[in-house]
Amino acid sequence: MALIRANLAEMYTPIYDKFWKEGYGEIEAVCLKFFEELSDKTIEMKLNQLSELTLYQGFGELESVPQDNLKTLYPVILKHKKFGKRIEVSYEAVDDEEYALLSKTLLAKKYDRQAKRTKEFYMTKLIANAFTASADYHSQEGASVAICGDHTTLVAGTIVNNKITTQFSHDALEEMEQKVIDNARNSRGDIIPLLPRMKYLVCHPKLLRRIQRVLSERAERRPDVTSGDINVFAGTYQPLSLPYLAQFSGTEKCWGLVIPQGGLVITKREDAGFTGWVNNDIKSYVFDSYMRFVVGVYDWRAIWMSDGSV
């Protein structure tokens, strides 16, 4: 539907002028702190991976060097999707508008803000759906699985998982760290030290204050005096509230540890571009913008989550 003068009546005040120009409620692109941002110029991005080597084996004098065989893991295929928005404005709405709120420059700024919010929304959506099997992630055998759940290694079908169900607390964070220590394994089933790479603790906005209390030096719960009365979690992780998690039902108790640029990815095919032209048929101005990108994951070890269900 085109925008006409009647729709602009309430905007003839300086305060609406300010809202339109500046935009309120603008958010920071939080997810880009731990998502890896890639560029690609093909219709889809295919990430092929080889399995790791097993650990070196001992061998005796005049014996053959122990042989290993690399295996091709199931490829991750990221197909770009197109997103856009268009508005149409009558000549009169622009030509007669007192405050010039519909200038091309100001509209371009609004489109830019919404492009950033759109990417943030879809990166957050991947986090919100981390416990549900979907096309966002496939196991090494090709089956669609949850990003946070059970994963099978290539050696003897060992099952490891990166999910707990405990609501956030000092004890739950300790449980999560123990889960990482026990279950952080490569494709061949060998333990890999991931905990030192964990930097961010992501959460639903409603959990932020509770998490800040646990991570502060004046924590709500400390060890006993014999342990030196020190909060061992003080300063260990940076809490990140994901604003758009509030838009997905059932995520109020979600939290987890993530490795920055460790396997969560947003692949850019085409940046948001802004265009405007004249529709002489109905005497209107048309403004639109579109972009192409895809959000996905190529390594489940990048994120360890709890749905807080227990």
pLDDT at 14 over 60: no
When the pLDDT of each residue in the chain is averaged and rounded to a whole number, the result is 81
Short-list 305, 236, 303, CA closest to 36: 303
- What pLDDT was estimated at residue 11? 44
Determine the Cα–Cα distance for residues 31 and 34; give it in Å rounded to an integer. 6
Q: Give me the domains of the chain, ranges plus CATH numbers.
A: 29-52+73-306 (3.90.1690)
Amino acid at 259: I
Looking up tokens 């059932």, which residue turns up?
Answer: 250
Short-list 219, 247, 251, 253, CA closest to 233: 219
Q: pLDDT by residue (tens digit) across 227-258?
A: 556 778 888 999 999 999 999 999 999 999 99
Q: pLDDT by residue (tens digit) across 133-183?
A: 887 788 877 788 889 998 888 766 678 889 999 999 988 999 999 999 999
- What pLDDT was estimated at residue 2? 61
Q: pLDDT by residue (tens digit) across 185-217?
A: 988 888 899 999 999 999 999 999 999 988 886
What's the whole-model pTM score? Answer: 0.82
- What pLDDT was estimated at residue 228? 54
Determine the Cα–Cα distance for residues 263 and 197; give it in Å rounded to an integer. 12
CA distances from 2 to 15, 85, 99, 290 (A): 24, 13, 19, 19
Output the six-digit token pair for 45.
């991005």
